[in-house]
Amino acid sequence: MKPVAIFRFARSEGPAYFATVLERSSIPWTLIALDEGAKVPRDAAAYSGLAFMGGPMSANDALPWIAPVIELTRDAMRRDLPTLGHCLGGQLMARAFGGEVTRNSIAEIGWGEVSATPEASQDRLFRVFQPTETVFQWHGDVFDLPRRATLLALSRACPHQAFRYGTSVYGLLFHLEVDRGELEEWLRQPEMAAEAREASVLDDITVRSGDHLPRLGGLARDVFGAFCALIDERASSLR
């Protein structure tokens, strides 16, 4: 099977639990570290799926890799490749299909509730969501829903938390991939710790993580597992 390409925009924001689920599903993956100068592939033909992680930059920044990432996402859509974006990655997914990315009036940092839409119960990835789930957030920008996209989750502060475009492209604003190791790494970053402290959530993140990480891990296992099933089905159809 061709590997899944995982695009990293910042060293501290790697694939975390997403990579764990890929490996448990015996799906190969390769890291494309744009933060270290790696180039964006010209097309998605070499991969069985794409995943885009988070980062501190904006999807609207004048960075040389943003336009190629958006075009690669469109190419993956044309090829019907499963594609998944987390936070910044989700914002890039939205931009690729006509949604705008803007600064939100409230930065969501830390543990917070999202509500699943009725459509989520019929979605292959999101049907494991209860009507309300506690997830981990770290963003100031938000995305509009692309035209013809299906809204899957929302929060009080952000009306668009997750969407599906077509049958296999997913954009998430929250960090479903975060595990304990990655979360601890984030809080060791001076800028991220200062941001959490300024938002008065640093202690709350630490205290509540023990309660919420196990459920988040279960959601991630099931959602990412369903994403792996999409990859397997797509690969089988091409044999």
**Average pLDDT per 10 consecutive residues for the chain, totaling 239 residues:** 97 96 97 98 97 96 97 96 98 97 94 98 98 97 97 97 97 97 93 93 94 97 98 85
Strands (E) in the chain, as ranges, are 4-8, 29-33, 49-52, 83-86, 101-116, 132-143, 150-154, 162-165, 169-172
- Other Cβ atoms less than 10 A from the Cβ of 177: the count is 29
* Coil, strand or helix at 26: coil
Architecture of domain 4-237: 3-Layer(aba) Sandwich (3.40)
Note the pLDDT of residue 235: 84
Note the pLDDT of residue 34: 98
Residues 42 and 74 sit within 8 Å (Cβ to Cβ): no
Note the pLDDT of residue 237: 82
- Other Cβ atoms less than 10 A from the Cβ of 210: the count is 9
Give the integer Cα–Cα distance in Å for 33 and 5: 10
Residues recognised as catalytic? 87, 175, 177
Note the pLDDT of residue 108: 96
Closest CA to 90 of 80, 101, 104, 77: 101
Note the pLDDT of residue 121: 97
Note the pLDDT of residue 150: 98
Task: Please state the pTM of the whole predicted model.
Answer: 0.96
Listed by start position, the domains of the chain span: 4-237
Note the pLDDT of residue 219: 97
